[in-house]
Structure 1
């Protein structure tokens, strides 16, 4: 991303206005200028759990996303911060900080569900931030995962059984990272030390049984295991004195617990090193304009009362990009024909050969810029437009040739016409003089080059 597109501070991408999610067009337009692949890291979690602090650290800053030490939620909607990726050349890092879930001031769980779903849909790495340990209450707070099958569609016309549609989620869902804040337990199992990843894996183990209680216990764990095959866990101790209210951005690094600083550094290193570029189903890499299109498509669907659909988002993206690809191809054709074509051409074949060569270049331009042109619909549209332009050139070529030849004939033969009016040929031997003069003028006409296909008018 060029330096002029670097965002010095986060800006609100999706506003939450009285419970309605609305895309901020000025912020969304920033994405349209980013032609590089985007690595999108989104973070969600209950309000007042320190999400914004971690995002600022990923940005390499102490300040940026709003951080508070009060009981109020600061972040509203979804905020975005774009910057050159510090570890992946020619990539752009896009950080998405979301408003806290469960904010009592909102009183609307549906709004939280949409924020959660959008974070999943837009990100390539999805960070869920919570405090304490992973126990059943912590799992219960993550119930939004079980709602994804009700909020998202993989296909516009899903199969009869919902499970079949949700099985496609894994093809476009992000990697899952669970961050546990203020974690004070020892990482042990059966008296043996375990890693944070093993702790998460143990917490997601299923119970045997078909009774209602067991099914309820397994439901969320099954969803996480199925939807997010790539999972990671990080634990963070208390950043400082656990009894003091803390606004982390106001503390100097040396005021923080050394262990906490080390844990934050490990988290940042992993996220920046392992987070992949955002892709769509089929391995299509997402850049800034494509991410902008996804944002608009998903939020518009939610606003209109529909479910965000991955297939529809890709179709909308294909419509936009393929239409633009057709225009680029046509522009290339027009430019090249304008530079190379000199009317009138000596023969029709000369014009057709130039058209075919330029048409081939235009199709190459289209193929380079097109995206999932299923059934070659847009390529056929391009072919129709190029064929129409060829026909127009043929008509113009004929007209230019005809006009030029008529003007040339008038210019060459006008003196003969004047001589006829003067009676120069109305005398003995005048007929043969006229025939000789006519032949001379015809030869002169035929010797003029590039009269075109209408030379024999």
Structure 2
């Protein structure tokens, strides 16, 4: 992988690392790359040195481009605008590449016939040594550019020498090797492919792999992508077959790269029956097609002294004369001005200044290619998972199940992308993560269309819609004839005839395949009829029938329900509907349905609500805060002390928190008068409450003196992710998914008449949500909150806004800053979890984020943290400064038939331990259950699953929870 970080180095002899230029703080991967670069730095005595322009991280397998080093080298005013020739040596590790490059250095420094110098002088330059372990790492350029004059002209060019990391060592992957070789080939004008002893088939296959990697990156189909390739065969041992040097090399090269295609008649003429395999032919043609010029040079062995002596330092006196003789032929040929190969890209020569840009561009290409490959692979993973569930051969899947499969497979694909090693680092890969998410959403749209096509009804929707329309028109026709409106009857008759012709045309098109455009138009017409007329009218009819049946059932109970209905029918005469248009954004207008009551009525006086206030009575660092909620609705003259809990109920019905259970717990003795009902538990039947016209508390039988807090999501059940959009949130009831937008929410709030409500939010983020997802979550939540705040202001309602942002502290703070300007009574903190069982929630990770949020919110506002938290978690959150919780934890343990026992020492124990003894009930509890029933009896009714069992447990557990909050307040 290539990490796009920029490092600045001090170009002195010691060449030490000065500083790092990076907009963002270094990640652990960046630090490893930085340490790696310092470790691999090479120094030289005479003032010239190799520059490591691309470094390698062995742990992350990433490449680091040292952009500033390249700038200082290539933008030197003396060479920046001169044409350049780049000589690179690449090949397998420990084959003498750096050793050969140092003879190139000798030639370029001397530039005369005696360039080899003293026979006893050591060989300096690029780092080299004997042995079996890798010496060169990454990609290096010599720090001193060599300026040479072209023969026959005054033009000067620059020669750069490039050394590369050897391929196929024990620390590099095949991809690492391919990347280094491809980059060096793309950037060099002459690539010397350093081989040992022979040109073997695997050498050609590796060359094919590496050059194809580079060729695909260049995407140049019109010309040969690379310039000169020299096969340098070292330690050639068969001079009797092909002599040393270019002549023998050319003979062997022709033989190795020969494409042999023998026709059938040649068997009779030449007696030849061998035919080269097609794969071998393509490999050879590929190599010829990739390089404009291909040569080969055969080099003898330098001698045993060179290969085996640990003290050898490059002295010519210890090298075989035959090797030196061939050096004198090969090196001048490659480096002499008359043979100079200038770097060309796209048919034009390149200057040093332009070469710098190509370095950057090619690195970028590999980053993108790697990330695009990861996107493609992860998209394929998503598609495979979806194909198994809703592919072409699978039966129809319901919309809810299809969405569930989509969410699950989407999560798997994104997890795979995050775990895949990618070039460019996390910041660069974020763009491709967003592309993957967009691709997955596009694929999901396709799967939805395919799945809908399998539904039997969808295939016959058009004829069904047409036949129903025919029947309706026929009925109207008869009615008009009966009433004497013959003109309207004639219109209906004409429409019936047209629709009949339309159905016949549709059947003909579907059976023959002709008139497809007309058939498609008919389908669209039928779909519009179905969606805009038939479904709404049938839904209205069904809902009216269900409401009437529901009211009839209520009246059949008599007593309370009947009296509620009769009493509330009288209150509706003075009500009038009005539409409030709220302009909250430049491009978004929301319409709310609300009610206003005519002035002068007694109803209006009863509905006027006092704005709640939070009066802080004490604060201590590390112990939270004590406060009182005053002036909230029916709290005139009294107060609710915090920290406290709102009493959670599933729609106020069986099997747990019934009206009788509330009385037996004696909530008002505890001064716990806040009742919480999640909207998701009543979303399926909210229209019945609207028809009832008496409000939710009277509908479910909650005490009149209690305060009702309406929350959106159910804290006792896991929240499904991935179903919200920019204009609505999703609420899941027993009947499935409901889209909740501000207009619908306004109607529900009017019907429920809650004392306080929670704003709509987009809080269903997974724990590992991306930055983009969290950003969208905050934007949507702020938009919903502004809409709800305007609604609350128009209707004198109490509102809790929701703070979201996952575990991203910056997004949380951004959300707080935007919500702090709204006139609200409290803040609910969500998005740390998806509700349900929260035993695994790490409160230690939540508390620091909460404290940073508190700094940007008004102090005298209620802080609500919903969720089924156990006593230990609640204690730690109260220490952080949370005021209000819910009792959904009591509901969950009651469902498990467990009893909660709060120890006498709670919460004084230094480690905040609490007892959860799920044996029979405790002796020190004075609740209704513990005073009137034995342990054996409670165990019996729970074991036999009698309705009384959960009710008795709920009474006990709720008492214990309230006692727990009393102890917290006493200790604070």
Helix, strand or coil for the counterpart of 2:185?
helix
Distance in 1 (alpha carbons) for counterparts of 2:238 and 2:232: 14
Partner of 2:133: 72
- Distance of aligned partners of 1:97 and 1:244 in 2 relative to their CA distance in 1, 3 Å threshold: closer
| Bigger Cα displacement from structure 2, 52-61 vs 126-135 | 52-61
Distance in 1 (alpha carbons) for counterparts of 2:312 and 2:288: 35
Q: Offset of 1:250 from its aligned partner?
A: 0.2
Partner of 2:924: none
Q: Offset of 1:148 from its aligned partner?
A: 3.3
Partner of 2:794: none
Helix, strand or coil for the counterpart of 2:199?
coil
Once the two structures are superposed, the pairs formed by residues 189-338 of structure 1 within 5 Å of their partners are 195-208=248-261, 214-241=277-304, 244-246=307-309, 250-273=313-336, 274-283=339-348, 285-305=349-369
Q: Offset of 1:304 from its aligned partner?
A: 3.6
Once the two structures are superposed, the pairs formed by residues 400-411 of structure 1 within 5 Å of their partners are none
Residue 83 in 1 paired to residue 145 in 2? yes
Partner of 1:161: none
Q: 2:55 aligns with which of 11, 15, 40?
A: 15
Q: Offset of 1:301 from its aligned partner?
A: 2.3
Contact 1:14 1:23 in 2 (8 A): yes
- Distance of aligned partners of 1:176 and 1:134 in 2 relative to their CA distance in 1, 3 Å threshold: same
Partner of 1:353: none
Once the two structures are superposed, the pairs formed by residues 27-38 of structure 1 within 5 Å of their partners are 27-29=69-71, 30-33=73-76, 34-35=79-80, 36-38=82-84
Aligned pairs, number: 288
- Distance of aligned partners of 1:59 and 1:86 in 2 relative to their CA distance in 1, 3 Å threshold: farther
| Bigger Cα displacement from structure 2, 45-54 vs 27-36 | 27-36
Helix, strand or coil for the counterpart of 1:120?
helix
Residue 138 in 1 paired to residue 180 in 2? no
Per-residue CA deviation, residues 123-158 of structure 1 (Å, 9 max, x unaligned), is 111110010112324334434246337642335xxx
Contact 1:22 1:299 in 2 (8 A): no
Distance in 1 (alpha carbons) for counterparts of 2:95 and 2:312: 14
Q: Offset of 1:280 from its aligned partner?
A: 1.9
Partner of 2:105: 59
Distance in 2 (alpha carbons) for counterparts of 1:249 and 1:87: 35
Distance in 2 (alpha carbons) for counterparts of 1:48 and 1:58: 18
Q: CA RMSD in A?
A: 3.1
Residue 103 in 1 paired to residue 169 in 2? yes
Distance in 2 (alpha carbons) for counterparts of 1:214 and 1:24: 44
Q: Offset of 1:246 from its aligned partner?
A: 4.9
Contact 1:84 1:92 in 2 (8 A): yes
In structure 1, the gaps of 5 or more residues are 156-164, 309-457
Helix, strand or coil for the counterpart of 2:255?
helix
Contact 1:21 1:303 in 2 (8 A): no
Partner of 1:39: 85
Distance in 2 (alpha carbons) for counterparts of 1:38 and 1:307: 32
- Distance of aligned partners of 1:11 and 1:70 in 2 relative to their CA distance in 1, 3 Å threshold: same
Helix, strand or coil for the counterpart of 2:302?
coil
- Distance of aligned partners of 1:48 and 1:149 in 2 relative to their CA distance in 1, 3 Å threshold: closer
Helix, strand or coil for the counterpart of 2:226?
coil
Distance in 1 (alpha carbons) for counterparts of 2:226 and 2:102: 24
Distance in 1 (alpha carbons) for counterparts of 2:283 and 2:214: 12
Contact 1:187 1:199 in 2 (8 A): no
Partner of 1:453: none
- Distance of aligned partners of 1:178 and 1:26 in 2 relative to their CA distance in 1, 3 Å threshold: same
Q: 1:178 aligns with which of 227, 231, 247?
A: 231
Q: TM-score, normalised by structure 2?
A: 0.28
- Distance of aligned partners of 1:146 and 1:59 in 2 relative to their CA distance in 1, 3 Å threshold: closer
- Distance of aligned partners of 1:21 and 1:135 in 2 relative to their CA distance in 1, 3 Å threshold: same
Contact 1:43 1:127 in 2 (8 A): yes
Residue 92 in 1 paired to residue 158 in 2? yes
Distance in 2 (alpha carbons) for counterparts of 1:24 and 1:290: 16
Contact 1:125 1:275 in 2 (8 A): no
Helix, strand or coil for the counterpart of 1:64?
coil
Per-residue CA deviation, residues 246-297 of structure 1 (Å, 9 max, x unaligned), is 57970311211111011122111111122311122132x2111111111111
Distance in 2 (alpha carbons) for counterparts of 1:93 and 1:110: 29
Q: 1:116 aligns with which of 151, 170, 181?
A: 181
Distance in 2 (alpha carbons) for counterparts of 1:307 and 1:116: 20
Distance in 2 (alpha carbons) for counterparts of 1:111 and 1:84: 30
Contact 2:130 2:310 in 1 (8 A): yes
Distance in 2 (alpha carbons) for counterparts of 1:206 and 1:114: 28
Q: Offset of 1:7 from its aligned partner?
A: 7.4
